[in-house]
Amino acid sequence: MMTFEKSELQIFANYCVAAAESMAYTLVRTAHSTFVKETEDFSCALTSVTGQTFASPRTFGATWYVGLDYGPVVAAFDNYRPGDVCMTNDPYSGYVATHTPDVVMWKPVFHEGEIICFVGGHIHNTDMGGAVPASLSRSLTEIHQEGVRFPPTKVVEAGQLNETLLDWIMRNVRAPDQNIGDLKAQIACLMTGERRVLEIVERFGIDAFKAGIGQLLDYSETQARAVARTIPNGTYRFSEYADEDAVDGKPMRIALALTVADGLLHFDFSGSDPQLTSSLNVPTGGHPRHALLLVGLNYVLYALNPDILLNAGMLRIATCDMPLGSVLNPVPPAAVGMRSLTCVVVQAAVFGAFAQALPELMPACPASSVCLVNVKTTDAQGRTIMASIGPVGGGAGGAAAGDGSDASGANMAFLRNTPVEINEAEVPVRIREYRLVADSGGAGMHRGGLGVVMEFQVFAPNSLVTARNRDRTIFGSWGIRGGHAGRTSRFLRNPGTDREEDLGNTDLVTCSPGDIIRLEGNGGGGFGAPYTRPIDAVLQDVRRGYVSREAASSVYGVELHENGGEIVPDTQATDTARAALLSADASADNFFGYGANRNAHEAVWTPERYAALHRCLDAVAIDWRFFLKHQMFDRMSAATCAGLAPAGEGVVYELFDGLVSAFPALKAQCASLPKAA
């Protein structure tokens, strides 16, 4: 078998990435929906004949899918012919498309009658039908509510477009012209990929091309293993939360035990919450290297070695454990539409574990929340308009190297904003405000990146605003090494009026003419104690409007006054204020700065109590677990308020005994559980 020299392999890799870039460029230039052509929620890939991604774009699209395994859907057919294009959007058909708006397509590339690879990718459709506009809401409880689903299907067969399939799509979605336009753009993207692959074969030869695919995957694995060997061996535990596991629900917990052993990584998620009766479940099928669970690893590896080849080979060093019936491995018909919210929580948990392993290198937590805003309304001519008007998120975490980037940081930076001019041209709304949110970044020696505020007005009755992935209104993004947590997000209707309404994590709002919607993204966590931030940096933040004068004084200990119309620091007062902050800093020895809300939650639900709760829930059938979790949270809250919750895990078993008595169907299932003392 031909073997590339290292320099030749890099050249070959560049050609393959360029082919994927050409696919993405075609898609951006021909797509109809704002969410694809502006926000760029899509992916493109070249895969091996077994479905392993070996090349993807570096400058276009979503960064979550560089290690995606198309194998389960590629294997769905054994009768591929030249000109075929296949698609699926069913999360439970191979676990490659992971919610219904994501239409995954793939096309075999033939050379002299032999399949030599596949070209593939996905786009996020603005709507796929279902119970709500945009198809996604935390309130949905089963996948049948999340829109039309297609198992692996040939949308083009031997060059002939399946018009019947297109007709089915058009009859079941809210913006049919947009969907069909995007679908055809996706097909054009794959045709571009096919041409580019064959050009590579012409340049390098078919034998070199086929051998090169395996060598790209192997080299990426070698690079990843070299990075992993620099991480101290050990087990690093971290938990992260979403605000709610359902509408007005309880905190959702992702628990990770990361074990590092001589260049191999194991991600044990077995302490995470049970499968939910909301749409925050992540459909993985138990795949030990499912791409969505290892996005955080991708970012860590790339941060530690920016030259790493981004492909499925880098994930070979990792395995994951997520029990069946958990939020990360649900059984159908669990709803999964909001799985991206949970994926971001998983990423934050991964970052928290690596922060302990590599405390000198890892930054504080990024905002790790981005709200994707869609508007369904009517224009002056009575036509229905439905479009995404862009993501509203926050910045990166502060790090030893400097402040976190503002507005679109770290793991959500691939989602691009839609310019105000395009939003107002394509959707009958008025953007009233679009800027950074002062004081939203977690305070620190190096502060967290600021969040974004978007405020807009609608003018038609019954306008529907969907705010997908609303989160971080309760739990902020943690700081490290003395840094503070970032400020939480906000969602308001008619702010500053007597009709102001705090919408919290609501993700579907019906608006009246003239209603104003305001979304404020949360900030990234801070790095280092705020009172050690250089005075000139605080002064510059105040002058730019990033930090208020009040926060400069109370949080950073920098006292300012005006001198000749210019804001300048008062050196003596600042020294006194900073000395007082240092003296009063009770958290100086804490590595993580979680914020008051998380500290209060974990004072009640300690790791020991969570472990006891999971032992109880694991003993019962899957369909009981979510209900019993909520019952346990309510009973623990009541017991704590009444002073009847002594320290330790025993109270968990005592409360669960009460539930078993209340629901006799549980008795046989729970016979082996520990009893309350």
Task: Give the residue among 538, 465, 542, 549 at the shortest CA–CA distance from 506.
Answer: 465
Q: Are residues 17 and 157 in the same domain?
A: yes
Task: Give the residue among 624, 634, 672, 669 at the shortest CA–CA distance from 655.
Answer: 634
Q: Are residues 478 and 541 in the same domain?
A: no
List pLDDT tens digits, range 124-168: 999 999 999 999 999 999 999 999 999 999 999 999 999 999 999
Give Dmax over CA atoms of the chain in angstroms: 80
> Is a pLDDT exceeding 60 seen at residue 234?
yes
d(CA 287, CA 361): 30
d(CA 670, CA 668): 6
Q: Are residues 110 and 196 in the same domain?
A: yes
The DSSP code sequence of 481-517 is TTPPPPPPPEEEESTTSTT-EE-TT--EEEE-TT-EE
Q: Helix 6-30 vs helix 176-204: angle between axes, to the nearest 10 degrees?
A: 160
Q: Determine, yes or no, domain membership for 27.
A: yes
Q: Residue 589 — very low, low, confident or very high, per pLDDT cuts 50/70/90? A: confident
Question: Which residue has tokens 């991206």?
Answer: 340
* Residue 246 neighbours by CB under 8 Å, 6+ apart: 138, 139, 276, 277, 278, 626
d(CA 443, CA 555): 7
Mean pLDDT of all residues belonging to the chain: 96
Q: Are residues 163 and 144 in the same domain?
A: yes
**In the prediction, which pLDDT does 521 show?**
96
CB distance 672 to 633 below 8 Å: no
**In the prediction, which pLDDT does 586 show?**
78
Q: Determine, yes or no, domain membership for 202.
A: yes
Q: Determine, yes or no, domain membership for 242.
A: no
DSSP 237: E
Q: Determine, yes or no, domain membership for 500.
A: yes
CB distance 463 to 376 below 8 Å: yes
For residue 373, give the 3-state DSSP assignment.
strand
CB distance 129 to 149 below 8 Å: no
**In the prediction, which pLDDT does 677 show?**
47
Give a three-class secondary structure readout of 162-216. Answer: CHHHHHHHHHHCCCHHHHHHHHHHHHHHHHHHHHHHHHHHHHHCHHHHHHHHHHH
d(CA 523, CA 398): 10
Q: Are residues 638 and 566 in the same domain?
A: no
Tell me the average pLDDT across 224-243: 98
d(CA 480, CA 485): 8
> Is a pLDDT exceeding 90 seen at residue 56?
yes
List pLDDT tens digits, range 439-451: 999 999 999 999 9
> Is a pLDDT exceeding 90 seen at residue 19?
yes
Q: Determine, yes or no, domain membership for 312.
A: no
d(CA 118, CA 515): 48
> Is a pLDDT exceeding 70 seen at residue 527?
yes
Rounded to the nearest 5 percent, the helix, strand and coil shares of the chain are: 35, 20, 45
d(CA 272, CA 474): 19
Q: Determine, yes or no, domain membership for 249.
A: no
**In the prediction, which pLDDT does 233 show?**
98
Q: Determine, yes or no, domain membership for 75.
A: yes
Tell me the average pLDDT across 557-562: 95
**In the prediction, which pLDDT does 431 show?**
97
List pLDDT tens digits, range 488-508: 999 999 999 999 999 999 999
d(CA 33, CA 659): 50
Tell me the average pLDDT across 615-627: 96
**In the prediction, which pLDDT does 419 show?**
92
Domain count, the chain: 4
Measured CA distances, 61 to 97, 123, 311, 415 (Å): 16, 9, 15, 8
Tell me the average pLDDT across 307-319: 98
* Residue 174 neighbours by CB under 8 Å, 6+ apart: 127, 129, 133, 376, 384, 386
Dig out the tokens for 264 from the structure: 């191999």
Q: Are residues 457 and 486 in the same domain?
A: yes
Q: Are residues 498 and 639 in the same domain?
A: no
**In the prediction, which pLDDT does 676 show?**
55
Pick the last residue of a domain from 191, 223, 255. 223
* Residue 616 neighbours by CB under 8 Å, 6+ apart: 628, 632, 652, 653, 656, 670, 673
Pick the last residue of a domain from 584, 617, 647. 584
List pLDDT tens digits, range 376-410: 999 999 999 998 998 999 999 999 999 999 998 77
**In the prediction, which pLDDT does 675 show?**
63
Q: Determine, yes or no, domain membership for 123.
A: yes
Task: Give the residue among 100, 89, 93 at the shortest CA–CA distance from 155.
Answer: 89
Q: Are residues 517 and 387 in the same domain?
A: yes
Q: Residue 667 — very low, low, confident or very high, per pLDDT cuts 50/70/90? A: confident
d(CA 256, CA 350): 7
d(CA 52, CA 311): 8
Tell me the average pLDDT across 570-587: 92
CA angle 283, 286, 288 (to 5 degrees): 120
> Is a pLDDT exceeding 80 seen at residue 630?
yes
CA angle 347, 355, 271 (to 5 degrees): 55
d(CA 657, CA 645): 14
Q: Give the amino acid at 190.
A: L
Q: Residue 564 — very low, low, confident or very high, per pLDDT cuts 50/70/90? A: confident
**In the prediction, which pLDDT does 170 show?**
95
Q: Domain span at residue 439? A: 364-529+585-591
**In the prediction, which pLDDT does 2 show?**
81
Q: Are residues 415 and 518 in the same domain?
A: yes
Dig out the tokens for 155 from the structure: 């949308």
Q: Are residues 505 and 644 in the same domain?
A: no
> Is a pLDDT exceeding 70 seen at residue 44?
yes
Q: Are residues 174 and 104 in the same domain?
A: yes
* Long-range contact pairs involving 564-573 (C-beta distance under 8 Å, separation at least 24): 567/539, 567/542, 567/543, 568/539, 569/535, 569/538, 569/539, 571/535
d(CA 151, CA 105): 11
Q: Are residues 540 and 525 in the same domain?
A: no
Weakest mean pLDDT among 10-24, 585-599, 623-637: 585-599
List pLDDT tens digits, range 267-289: 999 999 999 999 999 999 999 99
Pick the last residue of a domain from 165, 192, 223. 223
> Is a pLDDT exceeding 50 seen at residue 220?
yes
